Structure 1
Amino acid sequence: MGGAMALTLAALAYPSMLGLNTVSSSQTRIVANTQWGPLTEQDRDFVVKVRAAGLWEYPLGQIGLQKGSSPGVKEASKHLIDGHAALDASCRKIAPMLNITIPNVASPQQEGFVTQLKGETGKAFDTDFANILRMTHGSIFNAIAKIRSTTKNSLIRSLADQANDTVLDHMTVMEKTGLVDFDQTIFQQTTPPKLPSDNLTPPAPDPGQPQVVLTPPPNATSTPLAIPGEPGSNSTREDPAPAEPSPTPTIG
């Protein structure tokens, strides 16, 4: 519903480039003035990036629970599912409030990571799982700090706070696997390949397409944002609602 509404606003046209190594030439341009403060291009793109991250890392967490051959990888997989389900709920909540169109699938680059790991088993899977996810989380961790320190929009600040906690947790559990090659990972994080923009951009959803929902695990510990003024809301995070198991969401 929110995505369909946002598609009608030309001022908030779907971001053209959202990859790890993409920098917009007009990130500070204000695209909307909202009751929560001005919304810039980089604010809008941040919401899309957080949503896109969950669309590949959440299913990869499910894959890791099935294919991971070490306790560390299985534990990290649980954190991916738990954390990204809550972040995704926050993105789906604030996107229609800010008239932001969010994707239903990740970027081709991100989907490529999933395809690669689906084809691996054993130690190779565990090692690439830990290193790819430590690299991607390290990349967005820096972006979160920039958003949090510069945005004038209170909803974006709240999302950045949640994303910071979640991404730091995910970086930490990847490191605890003992499989991260820091020299290689940090090099790839700071010197990403120059890929075409269409490889880095999650496609915009088709009008009327049902929104993909990342269902929290039954024992969820992470909670979505609670927006001030919502019924029953008196804090910055929601109390977790009981979640029922659901099939793996269709991504793509």
Structure 2
Amino acid sequence: MGGALALTLSALAYPAMLGLDTTSTSNDRIIANTQWGPLTEGERDFVVKVRAAGLWEHPLGLIGLQKGESKAVKTASQHLVDGHAALDASCRKIAPMLNITLPNVASPQQEGFVTQLKAESGRQFDTDFANILRMTHGSIFNAIAKVRSTTKNTLVRALADQANNTVLDHITVMEKTGLVDFDTTVFNQTTPPKLPKSDTTPPAPVPGQPQVVLNPPPNPTSTALDLSAALNGTQTNGG
């Protein structure tokens, strides 16, 4: 198949399962050779997971700006909206370049967090907001580091850099709320519930449905990737 991408059939299909327990052999399987380097199954899933994270954390940030009781929770909410709008713009930039289909809805588990927090208020909202988001960001932090240290794809590497900085910032602002129960959070991070993959997988978008866009705040401090360096330094062998 000509052009920038030489794709295998599996790269064209939306990933059916994106659970964290995907085997390393599958994660390392190259599904496309692109001018920016090879793309593995795990790297494709990483781009989808970054998009899915924004699809629930960005709206939850908007909720936190309205419902947050403490100034620190409102500040953390601002960081969620700002950081995930920029990350989402980056995902939407590189996904078509790599022929990756992005979801329009987060996973059922992630949507469940939003439903729970929508029903809460006051101190309970602030506490659960800080702990849930500290746990989920902590869970993906190591996965980002692995992608960043092993990928041979320039676009994925650039997204991993941005995701690493954003997630670290969000971990930090959640901790600054003073509400994080580290014992419980670390336990939940390292001993996640054994959920069916259907609960941890964002559904495929409805054909023809407009792509959801996560809007930046009025005065954003985060920006999407500048891909000029990657586009000007194209590579064929993923070096």
TM-score (norm 2): 0.91
Separation in 1 of the partners of 2:207 and 2:16?
Answer: 17
Number of residue equivalences: 225
Separation in 1 of the partners of 2:143 and 2:230?
Answer: 29
Give the 3-state SS of the residue equivalent to 1:157 in structure 2.
helix
Q: Which residue of 1 aligns with 2:133?
A: 133
TM superposition shift of 1:54: 0.1
Separation in 1 of the partners of 2:8 and 2:107?
Answer: 23
TM superposition shift of 1:218: 1.2
Separation in 2 of the partners of 1:216 and 1:18?
Answer: 27
Separation in 1 of the partners of 2:31 and 2:115?
Answer: 35
1:11 and 2:10 correspond? yes
Give the 3-state SS of the residue equivalent to 1:44 in structure 2.
helix
1:197 and 2:197 correspond? yes
Contact 2:79 2:170 in 1 (8 A): yes
1:222 and 2:222 correspond? yes
5+ residue gaps, structure 2: 1-6, 233-239
Separation in 2 of the partners of 1:147 and 1:70?
Answer: 35
Q: Which residue of 1 aligns with 2:21?
A: 22
Provide, for residues 186-225 of structure 1, a one-character-per-residue CA deviation record: whole Å limited to 9, x for no partner.
0000100000110010001011110000011110000000
Separation in 1 of the partners of 2:143 and 2:150?
Answer: 11
Q: Which residue of 1 aligns with 2:178?
A: 178
Map residues 33-112 of structure 1 onto 2, 5 A cutoff. Answer: 33-112=33-112
Separation in 1 of the partners of 2:152 and 2:229?
Answer: 19
Identity %: 76
Separation in 1 of the partners of 2:8 and 2:174?
Answer: 39
Contact 1:54 1:88 in 2 (8 A): yes
Separation in 2 of the partners of 1:230 and 1:48?
Answer: 20
Provide, for residues 123-159 of structure 1, a one-character-per-residue CA deviation record: whole Å limited to 9, x for no partner.
1000000000000000111100000001100000000
1:119 and 2:119 correspond? yes
Separation in 2 of the partners of 1:176 and 1:148?
Answer: 26
Provide, for residues 92-150 of structure 1, a one-character-per-residue CA deviation record: whole Å limited to 9, x for no partner.
00000000001000000000000000000001000000000000000111100000001
Q: Which residue of 1 aligns with 2:165?
A: 165
Contact 1:9 1:99 in 2 (8 A): no
Q: Which residue of 1 aligns with 2:187?
A: 187
More helix by share: 2
Q: Residue 199 of structure 1 aligns to which amino acid in structure 2?
A: D
TM-score (norm 1): 0.86
TM superposition shift of 1:181: 0.2
Give the 3-state SS of the residue equivalent to 1:26 in structure 2.
helix
Q: Residue 98 of structure 1 aligns to which amino acid in structure 2?
A: L
Q: Residue 174 of structure 1 aligns to which amino acid in structure 2?
A: M
Q: Which residue of 1 aligns with 2:4?
A: none
TM superposition shift of 1:22: 2.6
